[in-house]
Structure 1
Amino acid sequence: MFGISRAMLLVCLIAALNCASVGYDSSMMSSLNISTEFKERFGINSNTKGLLTAVQNLGAIVGSLFSGSIVDKFGRKGGILTACCIVLIATILHSTATTLAQFFVARIVVGFAKSIDIAAVPTYLVELAPPKRRGFVSGLYWTCWLLGAIISSSVGYGARRYDGDWTWRIVCICMAAPALSCIISLFLVPESPRWLISRGRDAEALKVLARFHGKGDETNVLVVAEFREIKEQIAFEKENSFPTLAAWWKAFLSDKANIRRGFILITLGMFEQTVGSNIITFYLDDVLALAGITSDASEFAINLSQYCVAFVIALIGICLVDKLGRVPMLVGGTLYSAVILACMAGLTAAATGTAAGRNAIIAMVYLFQIGYAMSWTPLSFSYCAELLNFTIRAKGMGFYVIFDSLVGFFCQYVIPIGLDKLGWR
């Protein structure tokens, strides 16, 4: 199926569960921002709404300082396990929150887990995927963020039938389900062969490569070539390694290829947050309010259905990555998103007085998700993981998260204030 083995499909399933956990945690605020009971319980206004949504990025920034070291020291599976355990801690903090301060802390903890996850899972997938299907496999990671968003939106939609705090506490409690599923499933998949070789566990690494790329045959030509190439590459990188982080950075910046990699990491991290997805993902209730749609039931239904559309489109997108190329898809998706947002602004400014105008704004929400999910969803993280070599991959993904989270914090904080003060502008 899809040109990859059953064993690799199992790894993809683990990645899907893992990113679904992150997607649930992040997009949960979309459901809570719609919930009237949640907003009344904590006295949420445009300022606190922005802070609650954005503050997870502060946790991600702090976590990114350690995520690379955790993933390199304890392995890619160890990093995934660490992220899932932190999510369980965050679940307890969220679901038992009685004060706004506790909820803020819970959001920061979620961000910390997210940074470790982003350093671990794309790295794991890139190192285990068959070379010809690497775009599909690694793109699946962030695509399944939408799967978590769908689950979160569904739980939020269903929890409306309960009274009082349970309408939002149920959403928080269910955060534990994807994380627990991922922890259990980790027993079914192996460690990254590159990490195993870097730790001198060559026999285990060869078995993993044979299982995933050679149908169990350790003498397979592709398997032997990959094994030899990995060993030579890691041996070379170890011989040219550096005793301190300062020395590592100095060497990193002295290499023009690494400077270019760093530039790509920074710009992708910034652009991923400014394409417009934050508006649709976290503040759909404000966008719909500008269009005159204020019913909780309608907002939840639109929120859930737009995530479903995005998930289907993202699955199509990952099938096209290896055929169309990374850069053309990113550029095309960005231009498309800009056009749709411009149309949405124009409609909100001039057409909210009619049913046709309001329906057109709702249509723009779905059209935006089609363009974004086709391009940025499968590529924003996987492209970065692909362009980094082994010794800098985990730390490089942490570096990416710093800039992604800095810009994410700013955008997610100011958007609800801007929508409140400036309206469609």
Structure 2
Amino acid sequence: MKNGIDTQPQAAHEIEAKPSFEKGHIEHEDHTDLKSKVADYKMDAIEAENAEHSMTVMEAARAYPMACFWAFVMSFTIIMESYDVFLMGNFLALPAFANRFGVLDTATNEFVVVTKWQSALQMSGQLGALIGVFLAGPITSRIGYRWATLLGLALMNATIFVTFFADSLPVFFVGQLLEGLPWGIFIANAPAYCSEIVPLRLRAPATQILQMFWAVGSIIVGAVTFVYNGRLDESAYKIPIALQWMFPTPLMILMFLAPESPWWLVRKERYGEAARSIERLGRKSRLNSGETVAMMRRVVELEKSATAPNYVELFKGSDLRRTLIVCGIYAAQNLAGNLIANQAVYFFKQAGMAQNTAFALGLITSALQMIFVMLSWILTTYFGRRPIYLWGTAFNVVMLVALGIAASVGTSNAASNAQASFGLIASVMFTFAAAPISWCIIAETSAIRLRPLTTGIGRATYYIIEIPCIFLGSFMLNPTGGNLGGKCGYVWGGTALATLITAYFCLPEMKGRSYREIDIMFRRRIPARQFEKTVIGAEEDE
């Protein structure tokens, strides 16, 4: 043993020698028999869990370098949704797109896309993704994260054709809706897969990287539309659409080579394959795959049910509380000013910035978001999930209210600059604290057995909240609608305050906790503010 880690890896055939459950047998055994079976490999499970607890972040990264790489690859799928979400937002401010599909605004003598189509185009992809996330859970539970992601990437390649050849707003709507189907698979699977292939200390950075790739997608869009915003022909929007094809095929090749989640394999009782997957994710000299599989089995067997995972289970017993937390965190992403970031360029134009300045500020905002996501990795190393989320959201409440005040004092250049500044700060700080930590909370909160379903329904909640928020946001900013400009800060500041109060009472602290410990605390119904103080012994299973 070295630093609590056995340096002699256990062969895969030894895993199979461990006492195992036959499919369906668990429903005929009483609780005493279950505890006896778990005890057969409990010591190995304790060794593996203690090893993960004893690691530092850097030790975990050195022990599991390929896990970090494959988490990086899976996270790359998020770029595709981010790219398209920001692309539609930027198209609304693109002269060539507005001239082709808009109407003349007599007040400004410029063409604008009418409010209902602004909202429809921005919510069409989310509507498709809403369908996609409900499909993702059952598909992933049956065929695994790897094949489900490959299916999504193949579908993405095909659906881009519809948007590329669209010559009317209704066809754009249909194209975006179809593209949303694979987005739902990616966004449901990515946080779950990333959290399952890495050890405890790497769960936060491995899931927070999703927010970084969201920012990368917006940077690419910002750069492309900044280059083409001066063109007045259809290439100004056709080329950015075509660039989506650069993502799926390379990712399909990589995901075909990727290992399956060992947690998913253990759930399927494929212990030998799970051990080989673990050995592919980490250095054989630094880990014991047999003990790690035993740790996973301990959690999976204690969560086991006589029925297959289904959506009804998400709303029963302790899983109801876990589902509500995941859904609440996802919903809050739309209620704390995130929509200002998604419509950054259009927001800056309505705040009084010149067209080129608005596109440049949008690009700067995206670049700063990526930088601050990376800085957030340092934050989560030293601070818990709960304080980062609460303080980050509180700061955004202040910035959003300040944005509303700046928009209420007049129409001077100083007021316009103040609005742009507060909007930029709110967008960037959202990606420094609340946004990246949300991914970590989502991945840690769900039960292992129900994870694909929980992350799917959580993301569905995101879209259900986002769709009306998009209509509201577009109405508030559009000069043919509410024309509120920066005064929308009052609205988003109010919704952000509501999420802050809810999180204070309901959000538990899960930093440094194994999945076994998290399971036990939810089953014991520990109050959210007591999670951090609760001690769970290594021998405890209930």
Q: TM-score, with normalisation over the residues of structure 1?
A: 0.91
1:28 maps to which of 83, 87, 96: 87
How far apart are residue 349 of structure 1 and its match? 2.2
The one-letter code sitting in structure 2 at the alignment partner of 1:114 is W
Q: Does the C-alpha gap of structure 1 residues 205 and 217 become closer, same or farther in structure 2, counting only changes over 3 Å?
A: farther
User: In the alignment, is the contact (CA less than 8 A) between 2:130 and 2:459 conserved in 1?
Assistant: yes
Mapped pair 1:201 → 2:294? no
Q: What residue in structure 1 maps to residue 528 of structure 2?
A: none
Q: What residue in structure 1 maps to residue 388 of structure 2?
A: 329
User: In the alignment, is the contact (CA less than 8 A) between 1:37 and 1:164 conserved in 2?
Assistant: yes
2:100 maps to which of 41, 46, 49: 41
Measured in 2, the distance between the counterparts of 1:303 and 1:121 equals: 26
Bigger radius of gyration among the two: 2
User: In the alignment, is the contact (CA less than 8 A) between 1:309 and 1:369 conserved in 2?
Assistant: no
Runs of 4+ in 1 over 6 A off after TM superposition: none
User: In the alignment, is the contact (CA less than 8 A) between 1:269 and 1:403 conserved in 2?
Assistant: yes
My pick for the range that moved more, 275-284 or 410-419, is: 275-284
Q: What residue in structure 1 maps to residue 20 of structure 2?
A: none
Give ranges in structure 1 of 5+ residues lacking alignment. Answer: none
Q: 1:232-381 counterparts in 2 under 5 A?
A: 232-238=298-304, 240-242=305-307, 245=310, 249=312, 251-255=313-317, 257-282=318-343, 284-285=345-346, 287-295=347-355, 297-354=356-413, 356-381=414-439
Higher relative contact order (CA 8 A, sep 6+): 1
Count residues in correspondence: 414
Q: Does the C-alpha gap of structure 1 residues 302 and 241 become closer, same or farther in structure 2, counting only changes over 3 Å?
A: farther
Measured in 1, the distance between the counterparts of 2:232 and 2:410 equals: 36
How far apart are residue 23 of structure 1 and its match? 1.4
Mapped pair 1:130 → 2:191? no
Q: 1:118-267 counterparts in 2 under 5 A?
A: 118-160=187-229, 162-213=231-282, 215-217=283-285, 220-221=287-288, 223-238=289-304, 240-242=305-307, 245=310, 249=312, 251-255=313-317, 257-267=318-328
Percent sequence identity over matched residues? 20
In structure 1, the residue corresponding to 2:371 is in which secondary structure? helix
Q: Does the C-alpha gap of structure 1 residues 410 and 6 become closer, same or farther in structure 2, counting only changes over 3 Å?
A: same
More helix by share: 1
User: In the alignment, is the contact (CA less than 8 A) between 1:33 and 1:283 conserved in 2?
Assistant: no
Q: What residue in structure 2 maps to residue 112 of structure 1?
A: 181
How far apart are residue 243 of structure 1 and its match? 5.2
Q: C-alpha offsets along residues 66-122 of structure 1, whole Å, 9 cap, x if unaligned? A: 110111112111222222223222321111111111110112123222211122111
Measured in 2, the distance between the counterparts of 1:191 and 1:319 equals: 28
User: In the alignment, is the contact (CA less than 8 A) between 2:68 and 2:198 conserved in 1?
Assistant: no
User: In the alignment, is the contact (CA less than 8 A) between 2:92 and 2:98 conserved in 1?
Assistant: yes
Q: Does the C-alpha gap of structure 1 residues 351 and 188 become closer, same or farther in structure 2, counting only changes over 3 Å?
A: farther
How far apart are residue 398 of structure 1 and its match? 1.1
How far apart are residue 323 of structure 1 and its match? 2.2
My pick for the range that moved more, 357-366 or 274-283, is: 357-366
In structure 1, the residue corresponding to 2:284 is in which secondary structure? coil
1:87 maps to which of 156, 161, 175: 156
In structure 1, the residue corresponding to 2:379 is in which secondary structure? helix
Measured in 1, the distance between the counterparts of 2:309 and 2:218 equals: 40
Q: 1:70-85 counterparts in 2 under 5 A?
A: 70-85=139-154
Give ranges in structure 2 of 5+ residues lacking alignment. Answer: 1-56, 103-112, 488-542
Q: Does the C-alpha gap of structure 1 residues 379 and 85 become closer, same or farther in structure 2, counting only changes over 3 Å?
A: farther
User: In the alignment, is the contact (CA less than 8 A) between 2:125 and 2:177 conserved in 1?
Assistant: yes
How far apart are residue 24 of structure 1 and its match? 1.0
How far apart are residue 132 of structure 1 and its match? 1.3
Q: Does the C-alpha gap of structure 1 residues 192 and 24 become closer, same or farther in structure 2, counting only changes over 3 Å?
A: same
Q: What residue in structure 2 maps to residue 387 of structure 1?
A: 445
The one-letter code sitting in structure 1 at the alignment partner of 2:241 is C
Q: Does the C-alpha gap of structure 1 residues 418 and 369 become closer, same or farther in structure 2, counting only changes over 3 Å?
A: closer
Q: Does the C-alpha gap of structure 1 residues 341 and 176 become closer, same or farther in structure 2, counting only changes over 3 Å?
A: same
In structure 1, the residue corresponding to 2:157 is in which secondary structure? helix
Mapped pair 1:413 → 2:474? no
Measured in 2, the distance between the counterparts of 1:162 and 1:325 equals: 48
How far apart are residue 163 of structure 1 and its match? 4.1
Measured in 2, the distance between the counterparts of 1:290 and 1:97 equals: 28
